[in-house]
Structure 1
Amino acid sequence: MKAVRFDRFGGPDVLELVDLPDPHPGPGQVRIAVRAAGVNASDWKKRKGLMDEELPQTLGHEAAGTVDELGAGVTDVALGDRVFGFTRDGAAQAESAVLAHYAPIPAALGFAAAAALPAAVETATRALDQLGVTSGCTLLVNGASGTVGSAAVQLAVARGARVIGTASSANHDYLRSLGAEPVTYGDGLVERVRALAPDGVDLALDVAGSGVLPELIELTGRTPNVVTIADFEGAREYGVLFSRGDSGRALHVIGEIGDLIESGRFAVPAVQTFPLASVGEAHQEAEKGGGRRKLVLVVD
């Protein structure tokens, strides 16, 4: 099978499509013929040597496709079923991939839209779980219009929380459509949030990593009421929890998100697709950052 791999660290030009042996599922796993695979910031960071030191490396942790081989004990899906989910080996950007955690693709979604979901909804749900977001609480999401931020907004609203989200003014209508009350980020954030919530907020999630942890702590009143997924150094400085996958993943959301989509309570982000062979172009776009689009590689 063809798979994305790099043998040295560097720019997008180090990415290659190489022939690798076909993978096979272990017990409880399924193999899919990949139709789409998500691209995340971790991909270009790994390519540049900012995260992992080993070489060579394959890429990709989320994919969607059709089941073409079942591992021992798998009875909840059949050959030919459309599924999406997570790999365990970081090799989703390929013609075949083994999914360790998977769920049926909602009927209304195509493969590219399904591949846009796993990383964003797991990251958002993990942070909401760690914060203890429940019905009746007020949550501030800093960086609410991106793929993870918008997922956090919608998942929190589905839990019954009141959500205030920071974004540029151009994205305020979008946040309102998701059920959030928008505020502009930048200087004066505390005052703008308190204009909406005079007593402050109960909890805060930092998705943007824009150096606002002190303000989030001030608004919530307590450091344990703030979680960041984007500001590692700030988390160390201010004693805030930095949410990361190796501290326990919220994989339960893979099986739950379909009901929210089908009931109209979760809108999938806009998707920008690239052919698998154009993975370098996808990396160039990913490094620009920002925006509401999810980048996805497609396999014909």
Structure 2
Amino acid sequence: MTTQWVAPRPGGSEVLEAIDVEVPAPGPGEVTIEVRAAGMNPADTKHTRGGEPSAYPMPIGYEVAGVVSAVGPDVSFVVGDEVLAFRIAGGWTASLTVPAVDVFRKPASLGFPEAANLLLAGATAADVIRVTRASGNDTVLVHGASGAVGLSVLQLLRPLGARVLGTASERGAATVRRYGGEWVPYGDGLEDRVREAAPTGVDVAIDCVGTDEAVDVSLALVADRSRIVTIAAQARAAADGFPAVGGAQPESKAFRDSVRQRLVDLAGAGQLDVLVARTFPLASAREAAELLESGHPGGKLALVP
């Protein structure tokens, strides 16, 4: 038996409960992971707020890092391997059995909390770069550049040579600059500040926050709407005719799955950092989820069994 956090009914952090569950023995193509850290993402409690009644109790958590504790037939891992896993269900737990295809060897240079928070944000960042076709010839505006996805976007754009303007609060300015972006404070007058910073124009806009300000400024500055993308303002995207991406979309899902190993390799080479602000004991998952939902966690959060 192990402890797993679930949403027994639709809702956010307020409905979360810890329950005891059996951990099945791994079958063919599966491994069991002793979780050392569970990643936390806004999607974790966003997705518990709606769904078919049959989806509940809904296990929470899409990515973990830990140590292989058991293996089934036809896998390349062995007991004791340090790994991370993404595209799983029920990661807020102490132990779970998952398909080996979703498991990757953890670089020795990466801590467990960092590894547990690498792939959802990183794959999302790679996806928005793919959709906008951003290249080294572009000036790119990234809204929410100091957040988890925004920072991954900055780091993935850096080797391409693109010029990147990153919106953030003053608290995030140093972080944006550290990862190669030119900081632009958000708030009233944002469009004018971006125009002043980029008088020759903006080619691409990537919205990682979903605010009307981010969308309105993007529409005003980028002529080609196919080069604007959002991860959080789906209604505006549909109404205004620009792309919105999500991990459930078939094309995005296939791409995000395909890019996972490359992201792990980049992190192992020190070319993709994950900034973890705080860790919580697994028993404090509800408290951690409340901080996550506040929108101001100050960086990535992880649950440590």
Query: Is the TM-score greater than 0.5?
Result: yes
What corresponds to 1:133 in structure 2? 134
* AA aligned opposite 2:144: G
Offset of 1:255 from its aligned partner?
1.2
What corresponds to 1:85 in structure 2? 85
Task: Assess if the C-alpha contact under 8 Å between 1:8 and 1:56 holds in 2.
Answer: yes
Change in Cα spacing, 1:10 to 1:229, as seen in structure 2 (3 Å) is closer
Change in Cα spacing, 1:137 to 1:18, as seen in structure 2 (3 Å) is same
Of 3-12 and 122-131, more deviation after overlay is shown by 3-12
Change in Cα spacing, 1:105 to 1:271, as seen in structure 2 (3 Å) is farther
Q: Within 5 Å, which residues of 2 pair with 1:1-300?
A: 1-10=2-11, 12-25=13-26, 27-47=28-48, 49-50=49-50, 53=53, 54-75=55-76, 77-88=77-88, 90-97=89-96, 98-99=98-99, 100-211=101-212, 212-247=214-249, 248-249=252-253, 250-299=256-305
Size of the aligned set, in residue pairs, is: 296
Q: Secondary structure at the match of 1:121?
A: helix
Alignment gaps of 5+ in structure 2 = none
Q: Secondary structure at the match of 2:83?
A: strand
Task: Assess if the C-alpha contact under 8 Å between 2:210 and 2:233 holds in 1.
Answer: yes
* AA aligned opposite 1:241: P
Q: Give me the whole-angstrom Cα distance separating, in 2, the residues matched to 1:295 and 1:129.
A: 27
Q: Give me the whole-angstrom Cα distance separating, in 1, the residues matched to 2:137 and 2:31.
A: 39
Task: Assess if the C-alpha contact under 8 Å between 1:158 and 1:265 holds in 2.
Answer: no
Offset of 1:32 from its aligned partner?
0.9
Scaled by the length of structure 1, the TM-score of the pair is 0.91
For the aligned residue pairs, the C-alpha RMSD in angstroms reads: 2.0
* AA aligned opposite 1:256: R
Alignment gaps of 5+ in structure 1 = none
Offset of 1:51 from its aligned partner?
5.1
Change in Cα spacing, 1:63 to 1:238, as seen in structure 2 (3 Å) is same
* AA aligned opposite 2:270: G
Q: Give me the whole-angstrom Cα distance separating, in 1, the residues matched to 2:286 and 2:3.
A: 15
Q: Give me the whole-angstrom Cα distance separating, in 1, the residues matched to 2:129 and 2:91.
A: 26
Of 94-103 and 179-188, more deviation after overlay is shown by 94-103
Scaled by the length of structure 2, the TM-score of the pair is 0.89
* AA aligned opposite 2:219: I
Offset of 1:105 from its aligned partner?
1.4
- Listed one character per residue, the Cα deviations across residues 157-188 of structure 1 (whole Å, up to 9, x for unaligned) are 13332211111123212111001111111232
Change in Cα spacing, 1:10 to 1:65, as seen in structure 2 (3 Å) is same
Task: Assess if the C-alpha contact under 8 Å between 1:102 and 1:255 holds in 2.
Answer: no
* AA aligned opposite 1:91: G
Offset of 1:52 from its aligned partner?
5.5
- Listed one character per residue, the Cα deviations across residues 204-262 of structure 1 (whole Å, up to 9, x for unaligned) are 10001111323212222111110000112211211111100122221233212233334
